[in-house]
Amino acid sequence: MNTMKWLLKREFWEHKGGFFWAPIVVSAIMAIITAGSVAIGVTKGSEANIRINGQVVTKLADQFSGEEKAAAVAQFANGYMASGVPLLFVLSFTIFFYCLNALYDERKDRSVLFWKSLPVTDGATVLSKIAMALGLAPLMALLFGTILALLIVVFISLGAAAMGVNIFGGVLSSAALYLAPLQIAAMLPIYALWALPTVGWLLMVGAWARSKPLLWAVGTPLLAVGLIAWFNKMLAFGWDIDWLWKYIVGRGLLSVTPGSWFAYSPEDLEMVGRMKQVAMGPLLAQTWQQVTTPNLWIGALVGAAMIYAAIRLRRWKDER
């Protein structure tokens, strides 16, 4: 267990830029932009409206009815975490390239010879990289995302107050405000299982490729499915090509995107589309519905098999 702690520290030292500084920088930029637009909105008065999640939150006070105010507060308290969405995109990219290069770079710069001179098993090393990608990294992103979202709540509430509408009390006393980060944290186990096929595929290709791991990782499934699609069209086999795009390319390459599971059941997509305001409760419930789908479990099993292959490759592949 102690070894695992040091392996995780090691990953953090190496990837501080992607997993720590990148979300902080993105958060800071977004916070500054929000603060700036609130300030502009306040100074320009009625000419500008500040919108968040499509809802106008700062109209002139006299145009603001009690109902509208209540709606804005509810919207806000429930949906403020959506301000963290850009962080999730940054996270997906970071995890994708982290997994792809985790077992490739160490062979390229030959530092694998140093790591392998220590009494640390290949299994522990690879598992530490997965724990970083699907455990620590999303937790850190969630932490920064929450801080960012709260900052934005404060900025906009201040802006509203400057316009004569006080929503502080309503927002701060809303339970949804405090529940939202926890509800997102509760989705992480599903996210980790869901992302396994992509993580396993990227680790395996990185452990195997002699050069150009990105080309192998992305090109192989795209080309394979593309070719099959072409044959299918030429020879009119009538195969279900959409299935291949969805389950080979999509699950293999895009499963590290948080929330991508919603795209796999029409009811979920419909539900998300119907939502007038972002509500974390139903999203969390739908997320956990995934445990009843073979899609999640078969993907996780395939991912685990590829992770095992990555461990064997690291054990035996010569570094050059």
Partner 1 sequence: MNAVNPVVDVVVKASGLTKRYGKSVAVDNISFEIPAGRIIGLIGPNGSGKTMTLKAMLGLVPFEGELRVLGLDPRTQRDELMANVSFIADVAVLPRWLRVSEAVDFVAGVHPKFDRAKAERYLKNTKLTPKMKVKEMSKGMIVQLHLALVMAIDAKLLVLDEPTLGLDILYRKQFYQNLLEDYFDEQKTIIVTTHQVEEIEHILSDLMFIRDGRITLSATMDEIGERFTEVMVPADKVEAGRAMKPIDERQVFGKSVMLFDGSVNGVTREKIAALGETRSPGIADLFVATMKGTYA
> Where do contacts with partner 1 occur on this chain (CB under 8 A)?
2-3, 5-7, 9-10, 13-14, 106, 109-111, 113-114, 116-121, 315-316, 318-319
Give the shortest CB-56-to-partner 1 separation in angstroms: 47
Q: How far is CA 142 from CA 110, 120, 147, 180, 264, in A?
A: 34, 30, 9, 11, 24
Phi-psi region of 49 (alpha: psi -120 to 50; beta: other; left: phi over 0): beta
Q: Which secondary structure element, helix H or strand E, spans residue 210, and what is its range?
A: none
Phi-psi region of 209 (alpha: psi -120 to 50; beta: other; left: phi over 0): beta
Nearer to partner 1, 116 or 246 (CB): 116
* DSSP character string of 5-23: HHHHHHHHHHTHIIIIIHH
Give the shortest CB-136-to-partner 1 separation in angstroms: 17
Give the shortest CB-20-to-partner 1 separation in angstroms: 13
Give the shortest CB-314-to-partner 1 separation in angstroms: 11
Give the shortest CB-63-to-partner 1 separation in angstroms: 56
Nearer to partner 1, 43 or 121 (CB): 121
Nearer to partner 1, 14 or 68 (CB): 14
Nearer to partner 1, 274 or 320 (CB): 320
Q: Which two tokens stand for residue 195?
A: 């992302």
* Separation between Cα atoms, residue 112 and residue 174, nearest integer Å: 51
Give the shortest CB-319-to-partner 1 separation in angstroms: 8
**Four-CA torsion 163, 31, 69, 82, nearest 10 degrees:** 160
Nearer to partner 1, 11 or 268 (CB): 11
Nearer to partner 1, 6 or 231 (CB): 6
* Pair 24, 16: CB distance under 8 Å: no
